[in-house]
Amino acid sequence: MALSDLTLSVAVEAPQHSGLAGALHYSSPQDLPPGTLLRVPLGKRDLLGIVWHGSASDGTPPDGTQLRPVGALLDCLPPMAPAWLALVDFAASYYQRGVGELALAVLPPELRKLDPPGLAKRVARLLKKLDATPLPPTAPVQRPQLGPEQQAALAAFRTAFAQAGATPRPAPLLLHGVTGSGKTEVYLHAAEDALAAGRQALVLVPEINLTPQLEARFAARFPQHRLVSLHSGLTPVQRLRHWLLAHLGRADIVLGTRMGVFAPLPRLGLIVVDEEHDPSYKQQEGARYSARDLAVYRGHLERVPVILGSATPSLETWQHALPGPRQRYQRLPLAERVGGGALPRVRLFDMGVLPRTNGQSPVLAPMVVDSLRQRIAAGEQSLVFLNRRGYAPVLHCADCGWKSGCPHCSAWRVFHKGERTLRCHHCGFTERVPRACPDCGNLDIAPLGRGTEKLEEQLAELLPGARIARLDADTARGKGQLEARLAAVHAGDVDVLVGTQMVTKGHDFRRITLVVAVNPDSALFASDFRAPERLFALLMQAAGRAGRDAAQAGASEMWVQTWHPQHPLYAALKTHDFAAFAASQLAEREAAGLPPFSHLALLRAESRDVAVAQAWLEAAAALAAGLPGGDGVTVYPPVPPAVSKVAGIERLQMLVEAPSRARLQQLLVHWMPALHGLRSRHKGLARWAIDVDPLAI
């Protein structure tokens, strides 16, 4: 390092197990602003880095330390904005990940590979193409008439938008609208206001399969504005191009899944989180961040309005919007469907009254089958919902009791009849279906249970001549398959749509008048305290697919086939009373000291030997007891998760409970560095991770 060089703090993607949580130091002959993208050496590799806060300083490195010089600058791009750096800083600190690991992970993979000349060529080609293909001129666009509640919600947004720059922490807006109440139209009007002010709009959706429909709505409304999407379904080249358009300010609307919360937007003016309750907003690998919570924090940072939309808000969001001294969100109700349509009538069928054949109940109750036939005869569509893909969850030999378990996981391999395979949905291990029982040679091995593939087959037998289509992760796997199947439903080429939860939320099916929920009871008595909340939201969303056309809404209905028709959850579902359900759940959680009245973290450990993971977690618990913040925090004993073994690796988890978020963070900030050192004393530990605010326990 030359005497005239400066010391730069640079965020690089160091692996979590390295224990390098902060930015690294390099020497540079020039002062560079924070957010500058550049290449830097790390070990034998040449990596992308980002100049971080306090980047340049005079002075000498620590004794004996020889700083390596930075490499070439990616000077064809402007630096990342200070608000973006602050967002990543907060997320890395709160979710206990390395700042470089998170900062580089949320950038397009293709960007991390390119050298400065290669990137400069990409940017030049992109801008040249944009300039050669101007957007169409402004033309009148047909806008539906807003109802009174929509107008009130839009007025509240406009007040927030006008005051946003002057308000240090603008209150997020909870757009609590029943399914079909026109939440998307409110989003469109809010985006129109932001665009008219020269700002950009960020719209988040929970899953990839919801992006085509919403993208089409926004593209039709704003043909004179450039819209891009950001999600994992894009090719690396597409993702880089869309990211560049956002970062350069050339995209006016960014529509994305959870990764979109980190989109660099120099003119950000609005953030929308559609279906904010959806668990898909929580990342489950690597940095386990919540995109919804980070969207709210980003709104605070950049002083822009945040709209959280849902018919069934998460209980954390709902509690923030309850009137009182602790109210943090403004609730905007949309209690009526567009056009005055009625919500579907919910009917429960007690499966316990049906006679069994060979120990099994019929796939559908007779009254439900009659309802399906009536809808088909009337030229209407139906949705049959079963949240389990494949033909059957397991194959079984009645002679010796063999079942199609996975040799690498503590789970069954699912029978996929069309492919004639047994596939583990956890590790992916797949084999052809055996001709006979592997243990005793019995030729009569049979499927147990039912998945969407089998349900589709059974419906074809019950409803001869009906046009039946299936939509789940198996049928939507190939390129264009999802769009093609959805288009067939919208065109009226399908009488009965069979699907998993991917068809129950967000889709605007205008011809569906009947929804059937098959076997939803499994979540009623689950050990996870959030299971009832997720089930209620799923069933409410499923019911909302029926009767979205006001002309048919009065005759729409939902059948729920259940073994527990007296359960309070179904009583609230029958009246579409989310407020009553939320009040009962919040009362139960407060009595039990569960979130949102406490704050959790989950420490996970994995090893081929379960004893190694057990010993490490017990040592971690002992360590926590003596650290600042450890008093008053409860560390529960290690237990296995529902699927305790995946791909040959045993898994254990340990729950940490604190009365406040501050107390939990105080412990974590001291605990995490100590855990890195603890790992070296436990040979055989494959990996460990901390999950702050876990959704699945």
Angle between helices 148-163 and 183-196 (to 10 degrees): 30
Compute the C-alpha angle 16/19/20, nearest 5°.
90
Convert 372-422 into a string of H (helix), E (strand) and C (coil).
HHHHHHCCCEEEEECCCCCCECEEEECCCCCECECCCCCCECEEECCCCEE
| Cα–Cα distance measured from residue 498 to residue 493, given in angstroms and rounded to the nearest whole number | 14
Cβ–Cβ < 8 Å for 513, 375: yes
Cβ–Cβ < 8 Å for 227, 237: no
For the record, the structure tokens of 574 come out as 């029958």
Angle between helices 578-592 and 531-543 (to 10 degrees): 170
| Cα–Cα distance measured from residue 582 to residue 404, given in angstroms and rounded to the nearest whole number | 40
| Cα–Cα distance measured from residue 690 to residue 565, given in angstroms and rounded to the nearest whole number | 39
Q: Peptide bond preceding 596: is omega within 30 degrees of 0, i.e. cis?
A: yes
Q: Measure Cα distances from 291 to 14, 240, 503 in Å.
A: 22, 20, 22
Q: Which secondary structure element, helix H or strand E, spans residue 308, and what is its range?
A: strand 306-310
Smallest Cα–Cα separation from 394: which of 430, 446, 435?
Answer: 446
Q: What is the largest CA-CA distance in the chain?
A: 88
The type of residue at 497 is L
Smallest Cα–Cα separation from 415: which of 432, 395, 434, 435?
Answer: 395
Number of residues assigned to the chain: 697
Binding site feature residues: 397, 400, 406, 409, 424, 427, 437, 440
Binding site feature residues for Zn(2+): 397, 400, 406, 409, 424, 427, 437, 440
Determine the 3-state secondary structure of 195 from DSSP. Answer: helix
Compute the C-alpha angle 193/195/201, nearest 5°.
100
